[in-house]
């Protein structure tokens, strides 16, 4: 399996062309898709046409010259379908491209297809897609993780060298951990959200998934930066690659209380292994105390569902997408949304609508916002003592397809560590540190301070376990 | 019975582009339907709002003009509800806290009158225009996303007349600031009314499309409520529509009046610091007071202030060293009816010669009516025979000799007889200036002792 850096090297040596590379990847896609279902739409002809177009240029003109990339299907690409894994957007073509996508295209990337996801990003197994589940790349009887399951599996299978996902509560990092690839959720405001279909606007962030940390950094650099189209994006300069991988020694915070009995034994061991590896390399490890993490999952679900209930109001069958049939306006709304949305989305819309309702708003939304602030303050305090904070990415291994479908609460627990970075708004990376006996990788997440992506990328690069690194 | 009226006014702002995207603000509805649209104002998946700074500036200007406190930072909120004219399923709006202005006031008269408290001045976006056809509703998204200012008053008005006066002053203020044309027929200014009688529940009236309709709707509704109360019936809290065809208010479906909008802070727009933004604003009240300080008659000042054409002309006239007292008189009494006004320089020149008594007022009036926009002061001066003061003295003396008993009555206090003498003088010389004659007459009469 080739990394981005290897492909670029082949181009430089003129040993291959974008057309050949795209053809190779399409061959893999055609072999694997029937089993794994990582893609919702594949744009073979468009990708090949662009590959030919790119051959007029030279590899040194672009940072991602001729690199095939898959895009999670909740990120807009002009004239491609944008389904969000939902029936309600079946057949809807986006009239514009997300800023992150434009930046990739400006640097010579080739978009090869749109990947599967839990409907509107709501879920952590990619089973809640109108287009069927994506299967785990290591064992296809297991879940892929989610919601960016398609993007993680596509990379692991070698269908693309890298992809974009989106992360609202762990949706990039958790499937990356389940499939043994690396995934980054940048700082809130680092990557423009313009063109990312909103799930929870104050938590959503676009980020890359790749085979190793160096590839991840390449994509991260290209998609980051201020965008006037996103008022929450921040104008802070993005690091150069050579300033990121400096092999620095860091002060690493370990919130030991977080590792409860519910964490699977082998994951605990894997986490301890990672800590000892950090110490061996020469990093300073320090225990830190976090109190409010216990409330994070509840706070996350109240805030994300509240925002989602509002963000999803626009799917009403009036202007685009699926429309239920009725002569009566209110009935049309009811039919469109009842038939267009899946069960998990409906569940979250109901919870969110309740949390924002008159009489409950203070008790739920406002209270959750206050606790969110406390969690933030606690992290800020911790970052005065340490450079980064690590936890396991997920407390459990991938489960069998269908196993937790009837128990959403149990399923939500998979996000318990990852939601922290979204609530605080800090960058976080998931990186595999070893392979467990069952064959699934064990990953840790490394959280850094605001706009300190360089710290977590540098550290992740030093500890990553990867065949390609 | 005691009536309390509160108003909620929505104003479309005259910005170049819309509130949250760069589409043209087709303010006067000149373009074809659905031509000024983009993925943002259509609420397409993945789009985000970016705030039009000009709209914020306009809201600050209006807050200043309405004597409001201004928040140091503002926050947008989402108002969630379904309607086909609302592309995102929520309207980006503001909510009590975080509005641009709060706790202001506006008077019902230019000279003062009653102070009507303003609760808040806030920003939001307009919805699409829906056009009801026989079997379908057409939607024009050109209007979706046009910046709106919402002004909410306290229930301080006690009659339809007061509400009308408030609205007229508000409209004038907005026009002075040049932030909106506030043309109600074009939908630039839309009014929702809240009215309660004798502390009963309040009734909201929507769909009122002109200041005259506001007056009619209020009169109808107040009378209706008084009659109901007299009959011992309870007034329900409800929302009504004004039907301008039948000239009645009628109740709307319950659904639309009892919605829970689930307001929450708009996560796509961080709060905006506006503490540095303040503007020099000149309100009609400022202009009125300025005219009064120039000794312009109050009635004339009001007429000038309320007519922006006259007001702009008058200010240009003052800049050309025109005389405020003489000019305001002629402007209101003569020029006001002209389609085209004379050159400001000529008019200023005219006022100068009148002030200097070189052109008597009756000549000035007569010539203005003849020459209209072609006013030419040199021409007037050429044709004027200036009657010397000694000539006037002679006429005065001859008249006193001719009418000794009238003069006696005049001296005894019948001041009105001066008119008789002016009339007689004009028979002797038609070009005599009454003002000059009066001065000379008074001077001479003072020097004559009757006994
Ligand atoms: Zn637009």
- Calculate the average pLDDT of chain B: 93
| Residue A193 maps to a domain | yes
State residue B386's pLDDT score.
67
Query: Are the beta carbons of B49 and A231 separated by less than 8 Å?
Result: yes
| Residue A269 maps to a domain | no
Determine how β-strand B69-70 pairs with β-strand B3-12: unpaired
Tell me if chain A has a CB within 8 Å of the CB of B144: no
Lowest mean pLDDT among A282-286, B222-226, B249-253, B415-419: B249-253
| B131-187 confidence digits (pLDDT tens) | 988 888 899 999 999 999 999 999 999 999 999 999 999 999 999 999 999 999 899
Residue corresponding to tokens 């409950």: A360
- Residue tagged active-site, from A129, A147, A151, A430: A147
Query: Are the beta carbons of B43 and A319 separated by less than 8 Å?
Result: yes
| B57-116 confidence digits (pLDDT tens) | 999 999 999 999 999 999 999 999 999 999 999 999 998 789 999 999 999 999 999 999
For residue A168, the distance in angstroms to the closest alpha carbon of chain B comes to 14
Q: Please, which pLDDT band fits residue A467 given cuts at 50, 70 and 90?
A: low
- The beta-carbon neighbor of A98 closest among B43, B46, B268 is B46
CA distance B203 to B207: 13
Count of other CB atoms within 10 angstroms of residue B258: 10
Burial of B172 by CB count in 10 Å (0-12 exposed, 13-18 middle, 19+ buried)? buried
- Give the residue on A whose Cα is nearest the Cα of B138: A318
| HSE toward the beta carbon, residue A234, CA cutoff 13 A | 14
CA of B139 to the centre of ligand 1 (A): 15
For residue B252, the distance in angstroms to the closest alpha carbon of chain A comes to 16
- The beta-carbon neighbor of A310 closest among B78, B139, B270 is B78
CA distance B17 to B37: 11
| A136-166 confidence digits (pLDDT tens) | 999 999 999 999 999 999 999 999 999 999 9
| A365-417 confidence digits (pLDDT tens) | 999 999 999 999 999 999 999 999 999 999 999 999 999 998 888 899 999 99
| Residue A209 maps to a domain | yes
Total domains in chain A come to: 1
pLDDT at residue A110 tops 70: yes
Nearest to A29 by CA among A19, A41, A18: A41
State residue B450's pLDDT score.
67
β-pair partners for B116? B106
Could you tell me the end-to-end alpha-carbon distance of chain A, in angstroms, rounded to an integer?
A: 11
pLDDT at residue A251 tops 80: yes
| DSSP class per residue in B236-250 | PPEEEEEETTTTEEE
State residue A469's pLDDT score.
47
Q: Which of B17, B20, B45, B85 to mutate to test the interface with A (most CBs of A within 10 A)?
A: B45
CA of A94 to the centre of ligand 1 (A): 15
CA of A223 to the centre of ligand 1 (A): 25
State residue B429's pLDDT score.
82
Query: Are the beta carbons of B45 and A76 separated by less than 8 Å?
Result: yes
| B198-257 confidence digits (pLDDT tens) | 989 999 998 898 999 999 999 999 999 999 999 999 998 888 999 988 999 998 865 554
| Residue A416 maps to a domain | no
State residue B433's pLDDT score.
79
Q: How far is CA B392 from the centre of its chain?
A: 47
Domain of residue A137: give its range. Answer: 4-246
Query: Are the beta carbons of A231 and B78 separated by less than 8 Å?
Result: no
CA distance A275 to A277: 5
- Give the residue on A whose Cα is nearest the Cα of B51: A231
- Give the residue on B whose Cα is nearest the Cα of A196: B46
3-state DSSP assignment of residue A398:
coil
Give me the CATH number covering residue A113.
Answer: 3.90.1300.10
Residue corresponding to tokens 């991840």: A216
Is residue A14 annotated as part of the catalytic site, yes or no? no
pLDDT above 70 covers what percent of chain A? 99
Is residue A326 annotated as part of the catalytic site, yes or no? no
Q: What are the Cα distances from residue A241, in Å, to A250, A428, B165, B279?
A: 18, 18, 67, 46
Q: How far is CA A255 from the centre of its chain?
A: 23
CA distance A220 to A3: 15
Assembly ipTM: 0.96
Q: Tell me the chain A residues in contact with residue B51 when contact means C-beta distances shorter than 8 Å.
A: 231
- The beta-carbon neighbor of A313 closest among B42, B82, B270 is B82
The CA angle A415-A418-A421, to the nearest 5 degrees, is 145
Query: Are the beta carbons of B262 and A196 separated by less than 8 Å?
Result: no
Is residue A437 annotated as part of the catalytic site, yes or no? no
- Residue tagged active-site, from A86, A97, A148, A171: A171
Tell me if chain A has a CB within 8 Å of the CB of B136: no
| Residue A165 maps to a domain | yes
Q: Tell me the chain B residues in contact with residue A309 when contact means C-beta distances shorter than 8 Å.
A: 80, 262
State residue A356's pLDDT score.
97
| Residue A64 maps to a domain | yes
| Residue A153 maps to a domain | yes
């Amino acid at each position: 399996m080739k990394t981005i850096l290897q492909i670029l090297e082949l181009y430089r040596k003129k040993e291959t062309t974008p057309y050949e590379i795209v053809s190779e990847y399409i061959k893999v896609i055609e072999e694997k898709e029937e089993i794994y279902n990582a893609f919702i739409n594949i744009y073979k002809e468009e990708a090949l046409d662009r590959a030919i177009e790119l051959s007029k240029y030279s590899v040194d003109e672009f940072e991602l010259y001729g690199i095939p990339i898959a895009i999670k299907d909740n990120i807009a690409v002009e004239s491609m379908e944008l389904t969000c894994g939902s029936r309600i957007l079946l057949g809807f073509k986006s009239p514009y491209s997300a800023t992150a996508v434009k930046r990739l295209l400006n640097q010579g990337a080739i978009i090869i297809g749109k990947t599967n996801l839990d409907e509107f990003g709501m879920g952590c197994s990619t089973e809640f897609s109108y287009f069927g589940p994506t299967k785990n790349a290591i064992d296809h009887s297991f879940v892929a993780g989610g919601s960016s399951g398609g993007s993680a599996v596509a990379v692991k299978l070698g269908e693309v060298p890298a992809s974009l996902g989106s992360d609202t509560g762990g949706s990039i990092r958790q499937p990356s951990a389940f499939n043994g690839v690396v995934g980054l959720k940048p700082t809130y405001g680092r990557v423009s959200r313009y063109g990312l279909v909103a799930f929870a606007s104050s938590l959503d962030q676009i980020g890359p998934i790749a085979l190793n940390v160096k590839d991840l950094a390449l994509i991260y650099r290209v998609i980051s930066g201020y965008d006037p189209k996103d008022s929450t994006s921040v104008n802070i300069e993005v690091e150069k690659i050579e300033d990121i991988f400096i092999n620095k020694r860091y002060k690493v915070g370990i919130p030991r209380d977080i590792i409860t009995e519910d964490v699977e034994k082998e994951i605990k061991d894997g986490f301890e292994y990672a800590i000892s590896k950090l110490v061996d390399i020469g990093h300073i490890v320090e225990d830190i105390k976090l109190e409010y993490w216990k409330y994070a999952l509840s706070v996350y679900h109240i805030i994300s569902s509240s925002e989602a209930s509002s963000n999803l109001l626009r799917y009403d069958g009036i202007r685009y997408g699926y429309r239920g049939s009725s002569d009566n306006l209110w009935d049309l709304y009811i039919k469109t949304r009842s038939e267009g949305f899946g069960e998990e989305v409906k569940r979250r819309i109901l919870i969110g609508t309740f949390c924002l309702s008159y009489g409950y708003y203070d008790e739920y939304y406002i209270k959750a916002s206050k606790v969110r602030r406390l969690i933030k303050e606690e992290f800020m305090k911790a970052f005065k003592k340490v450079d980064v904070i690590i936890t396991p990415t997920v407390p459990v291994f991938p489960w069998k397809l269908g196993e937790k479908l009837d128990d959403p609460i149990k399923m939500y627990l998979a996000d318990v560590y990852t939601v922290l970075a979204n609530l605080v708004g800090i960058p976080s990376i998931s990186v595999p540190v070893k392979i467990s006996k069952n064959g699934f990788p064990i990953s840790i997440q490394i959280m850094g301070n605001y706009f300190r992506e360089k710290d977590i990328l540098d550290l992740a690069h030093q500890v990553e376990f990867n065949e390609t690194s | 019975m005691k009536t309390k009226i509160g108003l909620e006014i929505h104003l479309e702002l005259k910005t170049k582009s819309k509130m949250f995207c760069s589409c043209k603000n087709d303010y006067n509805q000149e373009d074809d339907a659905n031509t000024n649209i983009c993925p943002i104002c259509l609420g397409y998946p993945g789009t985000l709002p970016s705030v039009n700074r000009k709209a914020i500036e306009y809201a600050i200007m209006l807050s200043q003009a309405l004597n409001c406190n201004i928040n140091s930072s503002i926050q947008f909120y989402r108002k969630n509800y379904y309607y086909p004219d609302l592309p995102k399923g929520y309207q980006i709006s503001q909510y009590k806290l975080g509005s641009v202005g709060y706790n202001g006031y506006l008077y019902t008269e230019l000279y003062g009158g009653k102070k009507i408290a303003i609760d808040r001045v806030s920003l939001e976006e307009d919805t699409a225009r829906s056009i009801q056809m026989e079997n379908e509703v057409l939607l024009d998204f050109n209007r979706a996303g046009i910046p709106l200012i919402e002004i909410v008053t306290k229930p301080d008005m006690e009659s339809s007349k007061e509400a009308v006066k408030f609205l007229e002053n508000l409209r004038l203020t907005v026009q002075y600031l040049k932030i909106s044309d506030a043309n109600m027929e074009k939908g630039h200014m839309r009014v929702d009314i809240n009215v309660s009688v004798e502390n009963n529940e309040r009734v909201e009236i929507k769909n009122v499309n002109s200041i005259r309709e506001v007056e009619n709707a209020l009169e109808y509704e107040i009378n209706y409520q008084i009659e109901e109360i007299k009959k011992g019936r309870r007034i329900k809290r409800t929302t009504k529509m004004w039907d301008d065809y039948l000239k009645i208010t009628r109740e709307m479906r319950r659904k639309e009046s009892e919605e829970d909008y689930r307001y929450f802070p708009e996560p796509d727009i961080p709060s905006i610091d506006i503490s540095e933004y303040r503007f020099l604003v000149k309100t009609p009240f400022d202009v009125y007071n300025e005219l009064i300080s120039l000794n312009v008659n109050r009635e004339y000042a009001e007429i000038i202030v309320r007519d922006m054409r006259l007001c702009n002309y008058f200010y240009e006239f003052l800049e050309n060293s025109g005389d405020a007292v003489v000019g305001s008189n002629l402007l209101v009494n003569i020029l006001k009816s002209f389609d085209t006004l004379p050159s400001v320089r000529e008019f200023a020149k005219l006022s100068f010669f009148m002030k200097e008594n070189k052109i008597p007022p009756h000549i000035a009036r007569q010539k203005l009516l003849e020459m209209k926009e072609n006013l030419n002061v040199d021409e007037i001066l050429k044709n004027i025979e200036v009657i010397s003061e000694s000539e006037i003295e002679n006429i005065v003396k001859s008249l006193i000799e001719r009418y000794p008993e009238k003069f006696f009555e005049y001296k005894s206090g019948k001041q009105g007889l001066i008119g008789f003498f002016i009339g007689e003088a004009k028979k002797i010389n038609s070009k005599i200036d009454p003002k000059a004659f009066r001065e000379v007459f008074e001077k001479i009469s003072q020097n004559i002792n009757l006994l």
